[in-house]
Structure 1
Amino acid sequence: MKLHANVIGEGKPFLILHGFLGMSDNWKTLGKEFADAGYQVHLIDQRNHGRSLHSEEFNYLLLAKDVKEYIDTHSLENCILLGHSMGGKTAMMTASLFPHVVDKLIVVDISPKYYAPHHQQILEGLKAIDDASLTSRGDAEDLLAEYIKEKGVRLFLLKNLYWKSKEKLGLRLNLEVLIKEIEAIGEALPSDKTFNKPTLFIKGEKSGYIKKEDEALIASHFSSSEIVGIPGAGHWVHAENKKAFYDAIMRFL
């Protein structure tokens, strides 16, 4: 099995895909809330992230096929599929390629358009950690602070740390491949890919990822879509205004 997942609760399957450099653990708190609301929540690590398969290949077609294989392996039907950022791109691709397995689609703070690479500073910081043979989490945070000012972003990235051996910390990410394939992260959804079942786009009102001019493009790919803004939230919408985010999803469902 290529994809590792934590499954919580019983009910209609609700699959959650994290963003670039994230992992399923980032969604644990919200996952529990969705499970309490009566869903079987699948918190999935995508390829080259978390505990899932590390591979030399990395693109949205493969990521979507990974999700479809996961759905088939677990005999899931009529799934709700949610993806944040990179996970949103995977979710869009999955829903457009395999619409028969997706009942409703939720895309968080990303549009179908092309995005130029913009994670260089973060990747340099992670590479420095990877190269440094660190023996304490504190040292890792100090080193990362030289590259990334925002403490919240550092703490999010440091979730990837684990003890490779008794003495040495490592990263769960396949960093080498993610650096090599950085262009693939920003790829646009191909213009012929569409999905006509209910779709919710959620944007952080302080985030620049979904702009006014993206609305026509979104509608051209997703004919039954709506866009909801979450006040006071940037790109990490689900962390920055969790209650409004949760409420918007439950209204949609």
Structure 2
Amino acid sequence: MSDKGGILVEGLCMAVALHSLRFKNPGAPVLVVLHGLLGSSRNWSTIGRTLQDRFDVHVLDLRNHGSSPHSDAMRWSEMCEDLQAYLDLHELESIELMGHSLGGKVAMRYACERPEVVERLMIVDIAAKPYPPYHDNEFRAMKRIPVAELANRKEAEELLEPMVLDWALRQFLLTNLAHDEASGTFRWQVNLEALHASLPHIRQNSLLETDRYEGPVLLVRGANSDFIDDDDANEMLHWFPHLHEEMVPSAGHNVHVENRKGFLEVLDAWL
């Protein structure tokens, strides 16, 4: 089931009505999942379906991603208000919250702002720290593709290949290429301009020095990922005093894709 909508006003922030994939289990604890940069709810549908026997799962598209509305702004406060507006719409007062990469940064910030809502927090392969510039090349490559003139997806991949050498990364980027059946043309589903412009902001730490979340926190780290260093979990105890770190073998940054079985085993043991 999908949820769509227009613009909602929450205080001084403009909250967009987020699209979601629902894996319903009425009466079960609610699990909300937030994807990473250039991802979407589709990337987490297998995980959502797997966890449906234990949770009422809501897998959301962040603003400017998937089927959620576009906006020029990508401030942490606004993305947290997007999440709150979704919870208000569905009358969800208590949730388990999981976020990967960019979604993990939003989840961390939201848990600190609304600790009474978040029962448990799961952070997937992202730390509470600023990151060096990244993904600029991928955005430039995507923006150079004349998507409206494409004949098929294969042509898009061929045009991307000289600029994005990694096959798996190309396939991931191409999940954002949508085909309009009515016109027969292609388009990028994500808001490329807004996301590219926001890179200097979203690579920063989403947390303030004074933020705290006292609930249980699981930090899931891919053994082959360079997004989390050995001392990051220790540093994060400043914000999350009850943080527990687990390593998933044979997985990089996209832990839930590269070793789905290992990722689910870590979740099962903690949950």
Q: Which residue of 2 is the match for residue 247 of structure 1?
A: 265
Matches of 1:104 and 1:130, distance apart in 2 = 43
Query: 1:41 pairs with 36, 57, 76, which one?
Result: 57
Match of 2:194 in 1: 177
Tell me if the contact between 1:199 and 1:226 (Cα under 8 Å) persists in the aligned partners.
yes
The TM-score, its normalising length taken from structure 2, stands at: 0.90
| Matched position secondary structure for 1:182 | helix
What residue number does 2:8 align with? none
Matched, 1:149 2:168: no
Identity %: 35
Structure 1: which amino acid aligns with 2:225?
S
User: Equivalences for 1:40-189 in 2 at 5 Å?
Assistant: 40-129=56-145, 133-164=149-180, 165-188=182-205, 189=207
Is 2:15 the counterpart of 1:7?
A: no
Matched to 1:179, the amino acid is: H
Q: Does the aligned pair in 1 maintain the 2:150–2:186 contact within 8 Å?
A: yes
Distance 2:92 2:24 in 1: 14
Task: Give the drift of 1:131.
Answer: 5.6
Alpha-carbon displacement from aligned partner over 1:110-134 (angstroms, at most 9, x marks no partner) = 0010112210111112112256632
Counterpart for residue 42 of structure 2: 25
User: Which residue identity lines up with residue 159 of structure 1 in the other structure?
Assistant: T
Change (3 A) 1:159 1:131: closer
- Unpaired runs of 5+ residues, structure 2, are 6-16
Q: What secondary structure, in the 3-state scheme, does the structure 2 residue paired with 1:220 have?
A: coil
Number of residue pairs aligned between Structure 1 and Structure 2:
252
Which residue pairs with 2:33 in the alignment? 16
Equivalent residue for 1:196, pick from 191, 214, 229 = 214
Q: Which runs of 5+ in 1 are unaligned?
A: none
User: Given that residues 233 and 243 in structure 2 are in contact (C-alpha distance below 8 angstroms), is that contact kept between their aligned partners in structure 1?
Assistant: no
Aligned-pair distance for 1:45?
A: 0.3
The answer as to whether partners of 2:125 and 2:221 remain within 8 angstroms in 1 is yes
Q: Report the structure, 1 or 2, having the larger helix content.
A: 1
Give TM-score scaled by structure 1 length.
Answer: 0.96
How far off is 1:218 after superposition?
Answer: 0.9
Q: Distance in 2 between matches of 1:131 and 1:171?
A: 7
Q: Matches of 2:187 and 2:172 in 1, distance apart?
A: 15
- Contact 2:177–2:186 (8 Å) recurs in 1: yes
Is contact 2:147–2:188 with CA below 8 Å preserved after alignment?
no
Q: Distance in 1 between matches of 2:146 and 2:111?
A: 35
Contact 1:24-1:44 at 8 Å conserved across structures? yes
Q: Which amino acid aligns with 1:85?
A: S
Asked if 2 retains the 8 angstrom alpha-carbon contact of 1:6 and 1:43, the reply is yes
Are residues 154 and 73 of structure 1, via their aligned partners in 2, closer, same or farther at CA, if it must alter by over 3 Å? same
Alpha-carbon distance in structure 2 between the residues aligned to 1:160 and 1:129:
13
* Distance in 2 of aligned mates of 1:226 and 1:38: 21
